[in-house]
Structure 1
């Protein structure tokens, strides 16, 4: 969220999802536990568990979590953006969109129509680049501060690795005149500790596949911090012996890659 003097910014979160699994829920937890200064979780819009997925709300833990958030933190819950009031011009309000990619663009435009001027969208933000570009142009035209980013528990490790790599690069540059040196290397790996019995649910929830749903975090780091691009990618190698591809229900994806 953001800081504006001593004022507290009210945050509307669109898409909580399943407690302890969905990124929206983790955003909510950080706000409710006071980890974000000058910000409070005021409103939750949960279209699935308060709509077509209501039958699973109790089983997944959403109902119990909602009851605690309402009782302990006075958070308001709605199922649709149309149910909330349009913001007054002077209100300090921030929105976080944590929905499936296909739903993000429509949600963004609805929030802007309700008066939101600062909006954060969880990765990847849309189904395609055209939708992202259209939102960016719209935001610029209407004075909306729009950001697309990541909230990952691996961020501190990547920051430390990046600092270490940059130090190695600087040291190597300083030594080049005296003697040849090996280029600094950084190996990025990604591991989610799913048990075999949990993979059916994982494959269904991450139906766009491992590359889109999981490796996108690592790719974003490589592109934004290390300048990786299609043009400077030297080589691509697949480890066929290590990699494992399986069918789980209707979905075929990699278990390891």
Structure 2
């Protein structure tokens, strides 16, 4: 375990955040950091290691849960920040208890050690616990990208260790009750929680919504694809690793769009109809030998009590592209926009060449991951609105919808 030398006392930060308005709090906190001598030439000595520190105008980012290189979402977040794709975010710390502990000698452990050495060469410090962190030397942002089941505990630890804002990966928690408790805890501490629902800021979502608004009586369908092999072994591994289920995992981004932009919540749903011809539900053994039941593909339409009709389609084995399309009142498709579009495909090819063994969906969503992180990091520093970024309140509504829909759709597909 790594223990950092805590040489700075900046407990003023959380007090300032609680007692002042948000913008004033961030300003006061930043002044306190500077006045307290916490940053000298943007470099701090911790133990015997010189670590690059967040500079003026940057959040001090703590990545909680890195995962395996080329596979973990946390790893890709780290790569983007190390490559300085997010100007307001300085990746100063990575908390990775699995690969720095029991998982270090197992699958992926050797690859992680190699990547850890490269990241440390770029000034990133690694530890196994948030409790090992020194006091913040800049507004501290926790980016929690670990196992969903661990998120309630990790949020508590992030608050206790000086994080003034939290970026929480979807779906946030295993259950609605846990996510609501997390929201209450964060609010009581004066800590804002924003969600990594990157599709809320995607170009294809914006373009499709804008077009649909010009056509009375039109309907939007959001389509999400992953590129798993269509085999029992591949899908069984997927079902076990994402045991919360497709609607709380892969399709949760689309449900967040519905909650954010289409007034979809459990109190406003009039009807849910599965497309039985497209949809498929299977029970398959995972690597543990236990059976898991989930959708390998699903399509459904929601009608709300306020008159909105919107559809979602998700396919674990459908490829790498996500897209949305618009149909007119007669059901004819009149518009479709892909992610990536032609403009972005060249960028995807560059990333494929740079990271040939990484998960393909990282590349198609690369610009959107950057956008969300940058907006959240800037918000952490100066309190500016994080436009389009979902709050934990939206996440609660989204998770409620996922829990509501799952048994209804399962029953329709029996």
Please state which band the TM-score falls in when normalised by the shorter chain. 0.7 to 0.9
What's 2:96 paired with?
46
Listed as ranges, the matches of 1:6-21 within 5 Å are 6-21=56-71
Higher relative contact order (CA 8 A, sep 6+): 2
1:152: how far off?
4.9
> Partners of 2:201 and 2:167 in 1: how far apart?
20
1:85 to 134, 151, 154: 134
Aligned partners of 1:9 and 1:93 also within 8 Å: yes
Aligned partners of 1:49 and 1:57 also within 8 Å: no
Residue 8 and residue 205 in structure 1: after superposition, are their counterparts in 2 closer, same or farther (change >3 A)? Answer: same
What's 1:56 paired with?
106
Give deviations 1:94-141, integer Å, cap 9, x for gaps: 111112222111111112111211111111212222322233223222
1:226 to 262, 276, 295: 262
What's 1:189 paired with?
223
2:278 to 238, 242, 254: 242
Q: Secondary structure at the match of 2:101?
A: helix
What's 2:377 paired with?
none
Aligned partners of 1:45 and 1:79 also within 8 Å: yes
> Partners of 1:11 and 1:159 in 2: how far apart?
28
> Partners of 2:64 and 2:173 in 1: how far apart?
15
Residue 60 and residue 194 in structure 1: after superposition, are their counterparts in 2 closer, same or farther (change >3 A)? Answer: farther
1:63: how far off?
2.5
What's 1:177 paired with?
none
1:54: how far off?
1.6
> Partners of 1:19 and 1:192 in 2: how far apart?
19
Aligned length: 239
Gaps of at least 5 residues in structure 1 are 173-182
> Partners of 1:126 and 1:236 in 2: how far apart?
24
Single out whichever of 159-168 and 32-41 deviates more from structure 2: 159-168
Residue 210 and residue 122 in structure 1: after superposition, are their counterparts in 2 closer, same or farther (change >3 A)? Answer: same
What's 1:76 paired with?
125
> Partners of 1:153 and 1:227 in 2: how far apart?
14
Listed as ranges, the matches of 1:62-211 within 5 Å are 62-71=112-121, 73-87=122-136, 91-152=138-199, 155-168=202-215, 172=216, 183-196=217-230, 198-211=234-247
Q: Which has the higher strand share?
A: 2
Residue 52 and residue 59 in structure 1: after superposition, are their counterparts in 2 closer, same or farther (change >3 A)? Answer: closer
1:60: how far off?
7.4
What's 1:217 paired with?
253
Residue 213 and residue 60 in structure 1: after superposition, are their counterparts in 2 closer, same or farther (change >3 A)? Answer: farther
Aligned partners of 1:58 and 1:64 also within 8 Å: no
1:192: how far off?
0.6
> Partners of 1:129 and 1:98 in 2: how far apart?
18
Q: TM-score, normalised by structure 2?
A: 0.53
Gaps of at least 5 residues in structure 2 are 1-25, 31-55, 299-414
Residue 154 and residue 141 in structure 1: after superposition, are their counterparts in 2 closer, same or farther (change >3 A)? Answer: closer
1:213: how far off?
0.9
